[in-house]
Structure 1
Amino acid sequence: MVCSKEIQEKIVQILALASAPGNGATWADKLFTCTYALPAGSLGLSVKEAADPDAAHAYLQELQRSTAGAAPIEGLANLGFPAFQTPASAVFVKDNFVLTVDAAALPEPLGPHQVTRAAFAYQVATTVLACWSE
């Protein structure tokens, strides 16, 4: 899903790109990674598959503890999922999967609407989550 046409289209829409960005995917140690080559830098999306929802929550908690600038996403913004955000990323847990959108390699602000890297990462993450629920 993180390398899907829907995600490419959302990136094109948010950044007003002339064409869909290329991407490359890898799979190792139950971690699927998709890296988008954007004109201004790269955007990384990854999904860690855990053994069960409890293991996914534990993975999220450890990631949050070890990530500088991590703060919980709370209230309606977390869409009912455990989540945290940094100034350049968004991380959500759904079922036994942990989704990370990392925009740290991009400049700030982004696109014609001058969004922050954090806002961009959140928009892309919520698009992936919406596709997961279909």
Structure 2
Amino acid sequence: MEHRNFWLGSLAVASLLLSGCAAAGAAEPGSVASTASESASASETHAAGHSGEHHDAGSAAPATSEGEGPSEAALMVCGTETQDKISTSLGLSTAPHSVSGWADKLFTCTYHLAEGSFVLSVKESADPASARQYFDSLQSKAGDAAPIKGLANLGFPAYETTGGSVVFLKDNMTLSVDASDLPGAVGPNSVTPTAFAYQISTTILACWTEHP
């Protein structure tokens, strides 16, 4: 797999992590590294954690009590801020409809876009060592997985696939963003599915950095 040019350097990455959930500027289309500068507007939210929960545009439901459902960090993938980021990136007038599920410590949020399904998930492992085993297992099963290296991995273990998936590991949480069902050119800037997945994943990671 051809590696992308990570030429934006440390300034873009530092800006991402320090800004957290604050807004950032636009990025060059088609580059996974350049989408880091687009990462923005993903803050702590209260999306529903119940299995099979439906989310209309702008809706939110209370999370389950502590110990019974996903953490607030996991819920961010289906929260209002993430919905807004997806809408902004795709030029949507309203937030996309989504359906969430919670099973076996895996919180999944599926966004139903006009072009296809966009799936975000967070696996909450018992500890960082178990999380690393889960991450390594996912990577070994992905035949076309390539590590995301240098500044673009934001200091975390990460990999991407040519099909449109990006996976990051942070502490005991594994974030998977799957845009493989989307067309080859995504959004008004016609980025690749992998670049779009990277853009949204760094938005969430910025919030995780600000709200650990």
Within-5 A mapping of 1:31-46: 31-46=106-121
Deviation at 1:35, TM superposition (A): 0.3
Give the distance between the partners of 1:73 and 1:57, measured in 2 at CA: 16
**Counterpart of 1:74 in structure 2: which amino acid?**
K
Give the distance between the partners of 1:10 and 1:68, measured in 2 at CA: 30
Give the distance between the partners of 1:98 and 1:78, measured in 2 at CA: 14
Give the distance between the partners of 1:13 and 1:46, measured in 2 at CA: 20
Q: TM-score, normalised by structure 1?
A: 0.97
**Counterpart of 2:145 in structure 1: which amino acid?**
A
**Counterpart of 1:12 in structure 2: which amino acid?**
S
**Counterpart of 2:91 in structure 1: which amino acid?**
A
Deviation at 1:2, TM superposition (A): 0.5
**Counterpart of 1:91 in structure 2: which amino acid?**
V
Q: Structure 1: any 5+ residue segments left out of the alignment?
A: none
Q: Structure 2: any 5+ residue segments left out of the alignment?
A: 1-75
Aligned length: 134
Bigger radius of gyration among the two:
2
What stretches of structure 1 move > 2 A for 4+ residues in a row? none
Within-5 A mapping of 1:22-101: 22-87=97-162, 88-101=164-177
Give the distance between the partners of 2:196 and 2:114, measured in 1 at CA: 15
- Which among 190, 194, 202 is matched to residue 118 of structure 1? 194
The structure whose residues are more often strand, as a share, is 1
- Which among 39, 64, 85 is matched to residue 10 of structure 1? 85
Secondary structure of the structure 2 residue equivalent to 1:133:
helix
Deviation at 1:131, TM superposition (A): 1.2
- Which among 13, 16, 19 is matched to residue 94 of structure 2? 19
Give the distance between the partners of 1:111 and 1:46, measured in 2 at CA: 21
Deviation at 1:12, TM superposition (A): 0.8
Q: TM-score, normalised by structure 2?
A: 0.62
State percent identity of aligned pairs: 58
User: For the aligned residues, what is the CA RMSD?
Assistant: 0.7
